């Protein structure tokens, strides 16, 4: 559990892969908005110094700072920062997943999401916490990364059926 990389296969995700998102989310428009955002066309980026909100169906992400790098008429990467970036999304099971972190860095080309700073991932099965977590959207692995003594904690709520 304290290895440089601790791999844990769990039924959670960071930016929900298509197989877990609601069908309606997969086809919904992506709405990106924030006060005081500036798009620099020559540099293919949009920066939101006063906050950024991203919505797509049941997906909602809010932060106090956002930087979007555009690529091929779409999104190449999204960096969101704040005291706590907040993300929520309904899963196919109709459970709501909530992620909080000081920084969320989505890299589309690598299909990875990097979460750092007081990370908490909550769903109906429990809560996963850590300081630096990497989520691989292809393999659906959450990997604890960073210093050798990187703490990783998962609590599973075993409710009586």
Please report, for the chain, the start and end positions of each structural domain, with discontinuous segments joined by +.
21-147
CATH of segment(s) 21-147: 2.60.450.10
What is the C-alpha to C-alpha distance for residues 134 and 117, in angstroms, rounded to an integer?
12
Question: What one-character DSSP code corresponds to residue 23?
Answer: H
Question: For the segment 91-109, what is each residue's pLDDT rounded down to a tens digit?
Answer: 777 888 899 999 999 888 8
pLDDT-derived band at 19, boundaries 50, 70, 90? very low
Q: Which parts of the chain are beta strand (E)?
A: 6-9, 31-33, 37-40, 45-48, 52-56, 59-63, 65-71, 74-90, 96-107, 112-123, 126-136, 141-144, 152-156
Buried b (16+ CB within 10 A) or exposed e, 33-52: ebeebeeeeeeebbbbeebb
């Amino acid at each position: 559990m304290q290895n440089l990389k601790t791999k844990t296969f769990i039924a959670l995700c960071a930016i929900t892969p298509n197989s877990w998102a609601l069908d309606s989310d997969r086809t919904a428009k992506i709405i990106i908005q924030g006060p005081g955002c500036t798009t620099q066309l020559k540099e293919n980026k949009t920066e939101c110094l006063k906050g950024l909100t991203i919505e797509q169906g049941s997906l909602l992400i809010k932060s106090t700072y956002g930087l979007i790098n555009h690529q091929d008429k779409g999104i190449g990467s999204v960096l969101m920062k704040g005291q706590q970036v907040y993300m929520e999304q309904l899963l196919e099971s109709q459970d709501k997943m909530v992620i909080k972190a000081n920084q969320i860095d989505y890299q589309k080309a690598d299909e990875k999401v990097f979460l750092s700073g007081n990370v908490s991932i909550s769903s109906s099965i429990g809560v996963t916490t850590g300081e630096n977590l990497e989520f691989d959207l292809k393999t659906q692995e959450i990997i604890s990364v960073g210093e050798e003594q990187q703490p990783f904690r998962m609590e599973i709520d075993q409710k009586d059926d």
